[in-house]
A and B are shown apart, each in its own frame.
Chain A
Amino acid sequence: MQKPIIGIPLGDPAGIGPEVVVKSLSDSQIYEVCQPLVIGDKNVLAQALTICQLPANLHLVKTPFEGQYTLGTIDLIDLQNIDMSKLQKGTVQAMCGKAAYEYIEKSVQLAMSGAVTAIATTPINKESLKAAHIKHIGHTEMLEELSGTTDPLTMFEVRGMRVFFLSRHVSLRQACDLVTKEKVLEYIIRCTEALRKLGVTQGTLAVAGLNPHSGEHGLFGNEEVLEVEPAVQEAQKRGYQVVGPIGADSVFHLALMGHYNAVLSLYHDQGHIATKTLDFERTIAITNGLPFLRTSVDHGTAFDIAGKGVASAVSMTEAILLAAKYSPHFDTLGTSIR
């Protein structure tokens, strides 16, 4: 079977993106499982190799099919959008915001046409994008617009544990109000569907509780009794493999031990704390609901250490490996077009 081609937009050229990309692509385990293709700028990449003191050759291609995909050669679609005399590492620049956007735009085009199977994204900088007058300053919004989808579903994966979120960027108080039977049921269905698209068809989804100790039967909080339990029961009736609510004290612990194929957390920090505390660097976001597979590092552009060659590539490598892991399944289900 042919290894999947993973598109890697280079991210903000002034950030640590280029450095973590060249470090990751010096790791032989990447080439064992996929064919990585960078969408970026040749000069920026060459500079990153110098900064990191890595020896790879750069191989420019026009289409993904021309790539060599061997360790020691980095295949690159060169958008030639950086003037090196003006590039300053670690600073907000309109040129870099615009370039970062163009790398993503090109990557999405390739993914939509099926020329690459998945994309693994590197950090972008909101301020740089703003300086470049880019309408969208977040990855997700950009990807939605460029791919014509709405309301994608984010999943985190760390050490094999998968975590979904009933809500994300709302206040904790609002998050509590969003825990309704209808929404929990909707998310059980959406999570199950997202898992199926990733090829995860076995196992049980666990829904976390909202309150301390899952409310202890209504003693402190009744959302479990009034909203979560009825949603889980309704889903079970409809044939979904789901259990819950299970208290946050134990649900992630049990998921790590392999009891569940995923956990639906009920608010942002519930799932974020469980994953990032376990292993910050290996916590990878997967965006479900797009026409293609997309993984992402969860760190930023780290302008304070950009250009120093010290940035850790653990997250980037993990993001590429996860894209490779799910690509075959995603592909065979006919979600992407080749």
Chain B
Amino acid sequence: MSTTLPRIALTPGEPAGVGPDITLQLAHRPLAAQLIVFADPELLAQRAALLGISVSLHVISWPLARKELIPHQIGCLNVVPIPLAQPVTCGKLQSANAAYVLETLKQACQACLDKHTDALVTAPVHKGIINEAGFPFTGHTEFLAHQTGVSQVVMMLATDTLRVALVTTHLPLSQVSATITPTRLETVIRILHADLQSRLHIPHPHILVCGLNPHAGEGGHLGREELLTIIPVLDKLRQEGMQLVGPVPADTAFTTNSLTGIDVVLTMYHDQGLPVLKQQGFGEAVNITLGLPIIRTSVDHGTALELAGTGRAKGGSLYRAVQMALKMG
């Protein structure tokens, strides 16, 4: 990263969910970074009072010159103020605040693009309420791709023991087959390979690629996408020297044998890989967006509206997301 003490832009996400809670928990965790929260300071102050977390909020005027260091201090958070439209009640979604949620993301993303910050870390948003408010939104990943002017990104989730990347993310299962074109698959693998090298510092990534169909199509008997799309793309990229295994049947891709020597499993659709990862490391996974011009990590959980303000939200995933962002610099 560009300074000795990297700057992390953080968005607490949906204000009625656990995002503010777990953001406040970070104030009491040690971090070798400058942490900058893009949020309404009033929201954070109210939630801190509700949770009994003592925190001193420093509202900063933005942008802050890079030479001015504001190292993370226990009990303190630096906040770039962005006002809410409506006061928040824990657990109660309000479409009036959807624009606020998007604004925090836009500003934090822009800060990274402008190199005022080195990485973006996000807490969960609520897709439903953003759409209800009239903003088409399928997820952080897609939103940030749009904001940064990138046409293809790759969503990857990581625990200590397993990394899973997705060729398709939030779309109907019936559209997955048509969406996986040779071009898309090739682009995704190129992004994954390049970012594993540059961001995750793996010099020779080994990628295990799942098939789309049962038994990876069984020679075309159970679907032809493997023959028509996946195998030709893998063959092409192997000729460039990429270490690609597959396509393998997804149901045995995650056994210990098949994961030996593998750095990441590339799955064709959301539910092919994410349930496995969640089963193995719920609350411990970090969501990473590859292919963006910025570093971006996130929690692996949702807004957990029912836990907001109760003190029962667990901040482990957000803390891991920050740690991961620091490692990726």
Contact = CB atoms under 8 A, between A and B. Distances in A.
Interface of A: 168-174, 176-177, 210-213, 215-217, 219-223, 247-250, 252-253, 267-270, 272-278, 280
> Which applies to chain B's interface (DSSP): helix, strand, loop or mixed?
helix
A269 B251 contact: yes
Interface of B: 127-128, 131, 138, 169-174, 176-177, 212-215, 217, 221-225, 249-252, 254-255, 269-272, 274-276, 278-279, 282
Given A219-B128, A221-B172, A171 B213 contact: yes
Nearest to A278: B279
A120 B200 CA distance: 47
23 contacts: A170-B214, A170-B222, A172-B177, A174-B223, A176-B172, A176-B174, A212-B169, A212-B173, A215-B172, A216-B127, A219-B128, A221-B171, A221-B174, A223-B172, A223-B173, A267-B214, A269-B251, A272-B214, A273-B275, A273-B276, A274-B275, A276-B255, A277-B251
B172 A220 contact: yes
Contacts of A169: 214-215, 221-222
B214 A168 contact: yes
Contacts of A273: 250-251, 254, 272, 275-276
A260 to B, nearest CB: 15
A220 B170 contact: yes
B173 A211 contact: yes
Nearest to B257: A280
A266 B127 CA distance: 25
A248 B267 CA distance: 15
Nearest to A214: B271
A273 B250 CA distance: 7
B28 to A, nearest CB: 30
Most buried by B among A220, A272, A278: A220
Given A172-B176, A176-B174, A249 B275 contact: yes
A172 B213 contact: yes
Given A219-B127, A277-B276, A277-B279, A171 B254 contact: no
B279 A173 contact: no
B214 A172 contact: yes
Contacts of A177: 174
Given A212-B271, A220-B170, A269 B138 contact: no
A81 to B, nearest CB: 30
B175 to A, nearest CB: 8
B172 A222 contact: yes
Given A248-B275, A253-B279, A280-B255, A220 B176 contact: no
Given A212-B269, A220-B172, 13 more contacts: A171-B225, A172-B212, A172-B214, A176-B172, A176-B173, A219-B170, A221-B173, A223-B174, A252-B275, A252-B279, A269-B251, A270-B271, A275-B251
